[in-house]
Amino acid sequence: MSEAKRLTAPIAPGGRIGILGGGQLGRMLALAAARLGLKTHIYSDEDDAPAFQVATAHTRAAFDDKAALAEFAGTCDAITFEFENIPEAAVTHLATLKPVNPSARAGADAGSAGGKESGGGARPRDRAVLRHQFG
């Protein structure tokens, strides 16, 4: 496997940020990016993703479609994701093509952390840190 690409400088105005996921957070990210002079490309597996309405470009494809992911990455300067349940394999693949922040590991950790969407709480190691820091 190729090594993950790193972002070495800020993305200049006019650059394009790829956003995996096209929900409300993706929409808000696209609007905020536009105010900073950045373009956005949304990648979602949903036909009517809300972020499609405000993005510069969008791709509707499955997250396991490597050809579509590669084509998407080819249009972006850097990539992020708007929710934690993006398949880790998709994020890992994209990271070999373009800088992805946060990392695939961060998304996997967040997706398995039992957070608000799953109704769970902090993982055991996180609870230990919280107890140490806050008693």
- List the domain boundaries for the chain: 16-134
CATH number for the segment(s) 16-134: 3.40.50.20
pLDDT at position 113: 45
pLDDT at 51 over 60: yes
User: How far apart are alpha carbons 22 and 29 in whole angstroms?
Assistant: 10
**For residue range 100-135, what is the model confidence (pLDDT) as tens digits?**
998 766 645 445 444 444 444 444 444 444 444 444
At residue 11, the pLDDT reads 93
Alpha carbon 109 to its chain centroid, in Å, reads: 13
pTM for this one? 0.77
- Name every residue whose Cβ is closer than 8 Å to that of residue 80 and which is 6 or more positions away in sequence: 17, 18, 19, 20, 29, 100, 101, 102
Distances, alpha carbon 51 to alpha carbons 27, 123, 126, in Å: 4, 31, 32
DSSP bridge partners of 17: 40, 78
Q: What share of the chain is helix, strand, coil (3-state, %, to 5)?
A: 40, 15, 45
Q: What is the predicted pLDDT for the residue at 65?
A: 98
- pLDDT reported for residue 6: 87
Cα separation of 30 and 42, whole Å?
8
Query: Which pLDDT value is given to residue 4?
Result: 83
pLDDT tens digits, one per residue of 55-99: 999 999 999 999 999 999 999 999 999 988 899 999 999 999 999
Please say whether the beta carbons of 92 and 107 come within 8 A: no
Q: What is the identity of the amino acid at 117?
A: E
The pLDDT-based confidence of 9 (bands split at 50, 70, 90) is confident
At 3, is the pLDDT very low, low, confident or very high (cuts 50, 70, 90)?
A: confident
Residues 6+ apart with CB under 8 A from 81: 19, 20, 21, 91, 100, 102, 107
**pLDDT for residue 48 is more than 50:** yes
> 96 vs 9, 66, 74, 99, CA distance in Å?
18, 12, 12, 8
